[in-house]
Amino acid sequence: MKKHLTVLLVAITLIVTAAVSHAVAHDMDDMDSGSDSGGTGAMGQMGAHMKMGDHMTMTESRPMTPADTQRGEQIIATMRAKLTKYEDYKVAIADGYVPYMESVPQDIYHFANRSATASEYMGDFDLARPGSLLYEKKTFGGYKLVGAMYDAPAADTPEQLDALIPLSLSHWHAHTNICLPNGVTEADVMNGNVAARMRPDISSAARAPGEFGRGSGAGDGERMRVGYLADPRFGFTGTISNQADCEAADGNFHKQIFGWMIHVYPFTSEDLKVAFSLAAP
């Protein structure tokens, strides 16, 4: 029994860390000087428009129903009532929401709560206690609350996700078909360790761990990359998206990393299309 409990705790720890490094999953290897979404910042556009592709799987849209509209309005009302206290970001920090990579310029900053995320990945969904709070940085200091990110287990079905937040309102998304270079583990990704040790001969494009450098992927322009992400073949926007090519590159392939995720922006508009948009405010 004690051994099984230890294994479970280790598993939960890895999963929880995923939320804290959710930023990595979105754009950590898309560190750009000019992304398609038109924002600023070396980290790319955290929370900016997400695109369907080999590395991004989204739930299919469903027709809007009056019941879904009512649920959407209730979700927004609940989030506003329960999360307004976090307009003071210091209250969020006091409640265990920790800013992720605060020193790196981003459109949207994720303040992640490990225990809340653990609950979500165990199937405990609570609008009043999201895994992450979403903030914009104010020009003259401080943060402005714009929304929240909720998580769900990777094994959840569309029906289960729809029961949490209707699929007609927005898309839950998952990060899929990820190739990591030799020497870099899923735990490194979950911990945001982009400077993880890797073989020096893995690519002439690769830089030393922690060193910033330019890399270019097919059709995506010139991008700022760091650590193992200096090699544009790997990661969440890498050119490799299947197991055969990954193994040929001496990498390790992951069909999916992290569970399901969704962003909701109740503090930007009462319009459901805006509040449940895939685009950051």
- Domain borders along the chain are 1-34+48-281
- pLDDT of residue 5 exceeding 80, the answer is no
d(CA 217, CA 115): 37
253, burial (CB in 10 Å: exposed 0-12, middle 13-18, buried 19+): middle
d(CA 165, CA 185): 32
Q: State mean pLDDT over 26-39.
A: 37
For residue 267, name the pLDDT band (cuts at 50, 70, 90): very high
Least confident residue range of 2-11, 57-66, 252-261: 2-11
Cα angle vertex 134, ends 238, 27, to 5°? 10
Residue with tokens 């509209």: 69
pTM of the model: 0.71
Beta strands 173-180 and 98-99, pairing class: unpaired
Strand partners of residue 173: 58, 261
CB count within 10 Å of CB 93 equals: 15
